[in-house]
Amino acid sequence: MQKTTLVRISVVLFALLLVLGTSVWAQKLADRPRAASMRSIAYDATQETAVEGTVLSYTAEAATPPIGAHVQLQTASGTMDIHLGTGSYLDANHFSLAKGDSVRVVGASSATRQGTIFLVRLIQKGGQSLALRTAKGAPLSFAGARTLSPAQRAQLASQAGPR
Amino acid sequence: MNRAVKRLLSFAAALFAFLSAGCSNGGNTVVGPPPPPPTGNFSNFSLNGQYAFSMSDTELCAGQGSFFARDGSFTADGSGHITDGVEDVNVCTGVFTLPFTSSTYSISADGRGTLNLTNSTGTTTYSLTLTSPTQGFVAQTDGNATAGGSLQRQNPAAFSNPAIANGYVFDVFGASSAANPESIIGRFDADGAGSISLGLYDSNEAGTPSGQQLFPAGALYQFDHTFGKSGRGVANIAGHNFAFYVVDATRLKLVGTDFPEVFSGEAFAQQSIAFTAASLNSGLAFLLGGSSSSGPIATAGRFTADGVGNLSEIFLDENNNGTVTLLPSQGGTVAGTYTLDANGLGGGMATWTDTRVGTFTFIFYLISPTEAVFQEIDTGITSDGTLLAQTGGPITPASLAGDFAFVLSGVTQNGSNVDSNDFVGQLKLTSASGNNATGIMDFTEFSPAHQQQLFDIQSSGPLDITSPGTGPNTLTLTTTFPSPQTFNFTAYAVDSSTVFLVGVDNNRVLAGSIARQP
């Protein structure tokens, strides 16, 4: 019995030391900025807006940065330069755009040296909707395919070539 | 120093995967006009022993591009055969550990070569360029995927828990479970028996920094019983699971094994000293790669740290998905400061402000006073890489003359496609002025709608050094086949054997480095 009690006390003391140790380290953690400097072409999710308009032109080959697909969108308040990321991501998701299309985009405006650009997180045309960025504003063309369902993964795995 | 540069490249190579949609494996193969016969002292015998490798970039997944990573180990017999090995691949269909069966390689006199690795899923093919018999650069060039990275000869004497002891600094880059780009840098103590303590890290997910954090419970490392002879083990670092491959007691290659997230990176033995502001007291060059809100980003530069917290002579070239920013800006001035964490464990922060462009902020963890991992934390930017002390200056065309291996990774706007690219090759520099750089390379153009592998593509152009050579220099390389292309780089020399490169063209984002061959 005494031995059991001692073991319990030791365990409690050890746990307490662990907590205290962690606490000491927590107090020593360096003070880092959680929201650092806002640079140009950054997606600020707190500034998201929805915009509706008509496509004046669409190109998958940017004449000016950022690299990727751009739309000139006619809105009620003027013409906007819309950045959609890589055009092939639209193609892969069977989403096409042409002059005269009516679209609704959700995203955030960002200042660039060439002017203001609208970074799109979500685009809708007719009944079709496509997410282009994560909720944090990162392009889904980077790794969006990794969020496939298990069934889709299993199907792909059966078709996969050399890895 | 070469070791650190290879590491740097694996980070830079890891960063770009911004394509999509597509067709099946293979693609087109283009071979350039016959180059002059290669010269040098390399041969198949140069690749002899056990090597660890790490690569990452882009695969095709359900018609879309997707970031992936592979790390592994192989044994080369010195005569063109791979006799053993295993790799861990983290792809969009899962994480797999795949032993190699009979595989082959060949090395030319100039250190360039090919590597064919066969596992149960088929054969993957790589181009490589050795910088020495102990290390080199590698790029996947088979049309199944594109990836770039490095390989190093392993020391089997370090394939045990007791060999992995004391402090390590690490840097991994990849994608979070929410498909955001994420960088994690930090440090930990290994006890030589599989336990990890004093783990600290800074994560940056989609441009949102975590602040410094303690490792959550469960940190450990353990050698693998099945593939231990390949130097393979498993680890839990900063709350994430990894497979690791030991290069030697000072270096581990890491690949994330938690799906759907994916990470690739390395850990390095940390010098056992109490780091202070005085630890940084030299010129330092840096190279980072990663992702911004609009696409891939590559950054290179240098600064001088004075040992008491001040930064001066700050230069930076940033290519943010085609938008190029140079510091100091035209008409602007730059000033900065740095701090080391009070706990002496090597963490710290550097920040500088250009009066016209704005503020840049970075976290670092020192491996030693001359090496660190480096992470940008400005809003919307997820980017990391290497910080290295500049030594052996001044840098001149004469001091740089010689043969170099190079690796580059990034993306190019190619018509309506945005191709991922991984380049590996050799660059010859002479001390002449003018057209003093000639290169030969293999590379990939890889997007869902376009997969092409190009071999033996020759280039030439000037490397212009601005005295004293430690600031921004320019390298321009032009190819004529299969079509004329000009690549403009800013070159930051670490020393006469290592130079960081960042592309400054508006239609491509490239980062990499050159490393001297013997």
Q: Which residue is it, tokens 């055969």?
A: B81
- Identify the DSSP state of B163: G
Q: Which of A143, A139, A142 is nearest to A83 (CA)?
A: A139
Residue ranges in B421-482 assigned as alpha helix (H): none
Angstrom distance (rounded) from CA B263 to CA B10: 12
Determine whether the interchain pair A136/B178 forms a contact, defined as Cβ–Cβ distance below 8 Å.
yes
Residue B103, CA atoms < 13 Å, CB-side half-sphere = 25
Q: How far is B212 from chain A (nearest CA, A)?
A: 6
Does pLDDT of B408 surpass 60?
A: yes
Angstrom distance (rounded) from CA B122 to CA B105: 16
Determine whether the interchain pair A33/B361 forms a contact, defined as Cβ–Cβ distance below 8 Å.
yes
pLDDT tens per residue across span B146-192:
999 999 999 999 999 999 999 999 999 999 999 999 999 999 999 99
A113 to chain B: which residues are within 8 Å by CB?
A: 323
Angstrom distance (rounded) from CA B352 to CA B311: 8
Query: A24 or B478: whose pLDDT is higher?
Result: B478
Q: Is the pTM higher than 0.80?
A: yes
- Peptide bond preceding B181 in cis form (omega within 30 of 0): no
Does pLDDT of B22 surpass 90?
A: no
A43 to chain B: which residues are within 8 Å by CB?
A: 207, 293, 380
Q: Hey, is the C-beta of A34 within 8 angstroms of any chain B C-beta?
A: yes
What integer pLDDT is reported at residue A35 of this predicted model? 66
> What sign does the CA torsion over A44, A45, A49, A51 have?
positive
Residue A157 lies in a domain: no
Determine whether the interchain pair A142/B18 forms a contact, defined as Cβ–Cβ distance below 8 Å.
yes
What integer pLDDT is reported at residue B18 of this predicted model? 34
User: Alpha-carbon Rg of chain B, whole angstroms?
Assistant: 21
What integer pLDDT is reported at residue A152 of this predicted model? 81
The whole-number average pLDDT for the span B504-518 is: 97
pLDDT tens per residue across span B359-387:
999 999 999 999 999 999 998 999 999 99
Residue A94 lies in a domain: yes
Determine whether the interchain pair B181/A163 forms a contact, defined as Cβ–Cβ distance below 8 Å.
no
Percent of chain B residues topping a pLDDT of 70: 95
The whole-number average pLDDT for the span A12-23 is: 49
Determine whether the interchain pair A143/B66 forms a contact, defined as Cβ–Cβ distance below 8 Å.
yes
Q: Which of A43, A116, A88, A21 is nearest to B61 (CA)?
A: A88
What integer pLDDT is reported at residue A24 of this predicted model? 55
Which structural domain, as residue segments, surrounds residue A99? Answer: 45-142
B262 to chain A: which residues are within 8 Å by CB?
A: 143, 146
What integer pLDDT is reported at residue A59 of this predicted model? 96
Q: What is the CATH number of the domain that holds A103?
A: 2.40.50.140
Determine whether the interchain pair A68/B294 forms a contact, defined as Cβ–Cβ distance below 8 Å.
yes
CB B420 within 8 A of CB B141: no
Determine whether the interchain pair A146/B379 forms a contact, defined as Cβ–Cβ distance below 8 Å.
no
- Structure tokens that stand for B21 in this block: 């949609």
What integer pLDDT is reported at residue A64 of this predicted model? 87
Does pLDDT of B409 surpass 90?
A: yes
pLDDT tens per residue across span B269-306:
999 999 999 999 999 999 999 999 999 999 999 999 99
What integer pLDDT is reported at residue A145 of this predicted model? 87
Q: How far is A50 from chain B (nearest CA, A)?
A: 18
Does pLDDT of A36 surpass 70?
A: no
Does pLDDT of A100 surpass 90?
A: yes
Angstrom distance (rounded) from CA B384 to CA B362: 9
Does pLDDT of A1 surpass 70?
A: no
Q: Hey, is the C-beta of A124 within 8 angstroms of any chain B C-beta?
A: no
Residue B176, SS3 per DSSP? coil
What integer pLDDT is reported at residue B103 of this predicted model? 97
Strand partners, B186: B170, B201
* Span of A40-54, A127-141, B4-18, B467-481 with lowest mean pLDDT: B4-18
- Closest partner residue to B19 (CB to CB) among A39, A65, A141 is A141
Q: Hey, is the C-beta of A74 within 8 angstroms of any chain B C-beta?
A: no
Q: Which helix (H) or strand (E) holds B384?
A: strand B382-389
CB B215 within 8 A of CB B203: no
CB B382 within 8 A of CB B181: yes
Domain count, chain A: 1
Confidence of residue A113 (pLDDT cuts 50, 70, 90): confident
**Cα nearest neighbour of B508 on chain A:** A67
- Closest partner residue to A41 (CB to CB) among B119, B292, B413 is B292
Confidence of residue A2 (pLDDT cuts 50, 70, 90): low
- Residues counted in chain A: 163
Determine whether the interchain pair B377/A36 forms a contact, defined as Cβ–Cβ distance below 8 Å.
yes
Query: A120 or A35: whose pLDDT is higher?
Result: A120
- Closest partner residue to B181 (CB to CB) among A42, A112, A142 is A142
Question: In terms of DSSP bridges, do strands B251-256 and B220-223 run parallel, antiparallel, or are they unpaired?
Answer: unpaired
Q: Hey, is the C-beta of A52 within 8 angstroms of any chain B C-beta?
A: no
Determine whether the interchain pair A66/B321 forms a contact, defined as Cβ–Cβ distance below 8 Å.
yes
Confidence of residue A5 (pLDDT cuts 50, 70, 90): low
CB B51 within 8 A of CB B128: no
ipTM for the predicted complex comes to 0.91
What integer pLDDT is reported at residue A25 of this predicted model? 52
The whole-number average pLDDT for the span A71-93 is: 95
pLDDT tens per residue across span B24-83:
346 799 999 999 999 999 999 999 999 999 999 999 988 889 999 999 999 999 999 999
Does pLDDT of B451 surpass 60?
A: yes
Q: Which residue is it, tokens 């809100």?
A: B293
* Span of A29-38, A113-122, B273-282 with lowest mean pLDDT: A29-38
Residue A49 lies in a domain: yes
- Identify the DSSP state of A23: H
Residue A35 lies in a domain: no
What integer pLDDT is reported at residue A13 of this predicted model? 47
A89 to chain B: which residues are within 8 Å by CB?
A: 19-21, 64-65
What integer pLDDT is reported at residue A10 of this predicted model? 53
Q: Which of B474, B463, B459 is nearest to B430 (CA)?
A: B463
Q: How far is A29 from chain B (nearest CA, A)?
A: 6
Domains for chain B: give ranges and CATH numbers: 2-24+44-154 (2.40.128.120), 157-269 (2.40.128), 277-389 (2.40.128), 397-516 (2.40.128)
The whole-number average pLDDT for the span B392-403 is: 93
- Please classify residue B259 by burial: count the beta carbons closer than 10 Å to its beta carbon, then call 0-12 exposed, 13-18 middle and 19+ buried: middle
Q: How far is B42 from chain A (nearest CA, A)?
A: 29
Count other Cβ atoms within 10 Å, centred on residue A141.
32
Angstrom distance (rounded) from CA B187 to CA B362: 16
Residue A52 lies in a domain: yes
The secondary structure of B43-96 as a DSSP string is -GGGSEEEEEEEEEEEEEETTEEEEEEEEEEEEEESSSEEEEEEEEEEETTEEE
What integer pLDDT is reported at residue B284 of this predicted model? 98
- Residues counted in chain B: 518
Calculated CA dihedral for residues A79, A97, A141, A43, nearest 10 degrees? 20
- Structure tokens that stand for B299 in this block: 């950054």
Confidence of residue A9 (pLDDT cuts 50, 70, 90): low
Determine whether the interchain pair B214/A25 forms a contact, defined as Cβ–Cβ distance below 8 Å.
yes
**CA distances for B353 relative to A155, B202, B297, B336, B337, angstroms:** 50, 22, 19, 6, 9
- Interface test mutation site (partner B, options A142, A147, A158, max chain B beta carbons within 10 A): A142
Does pLDDT of B23 surpass 80?
A: no
Does pLDDT of A26 surpass 60?
A: no
Residue A4 lies in a domain: no
Residue B334, SS3 per DSSP? strand
Residue A37 lies in a domain: no
Strand partners, A80: A73
A119 to chain B: which residues are within 8 Å by CB?
A: 293-294
Angstrom distance (rounded) from CA B428 to CA B464: 14
Angstrom distance (rounded) from CA B144 to CA A160: 10
Strand partners, B81: B104
Does pLDDT of A12 surpass 90?
A: no
Determine whether the interchain pair A60/B416 forms a contact, defined as Cβ–Cβ distance below 8 Å.
yes
- Structure tokens that stand for B200 in this block: 């600290």
B146 to chain A: which residues are within 8 Å by CB?
A: none
Q: How far is B236 from chain A (nearest CA, A)?
A: 18
Q: Name the average pLDDT for chain B.
A: 93
pLDDT tens per residue across span B457-498:
999 999 999 999 999 999 999 999 999 999 999 999 999 999
A93 to chain B: which residues are within 8 Å by CB?
A: 21, 64
Residue A2, SS3 per DSSP? helix
Angstrom distance (rounded) from CA B304 to CA B470: 10
What integer pLDDT is reported at residue B13 of this predicted model? 39
What integer pLDDT is reported at residue A114 of this predicted model? 74
Residue B292, SS3 per DSSP? coil
Determine whether the interchain pair A137/B175 forms a contact, defined as Cβ–Cβ distance below 8 Å.
no
Residue A99 lies in a domain: yes
Percent of chain B residues topping a pLDDT of 90: 91
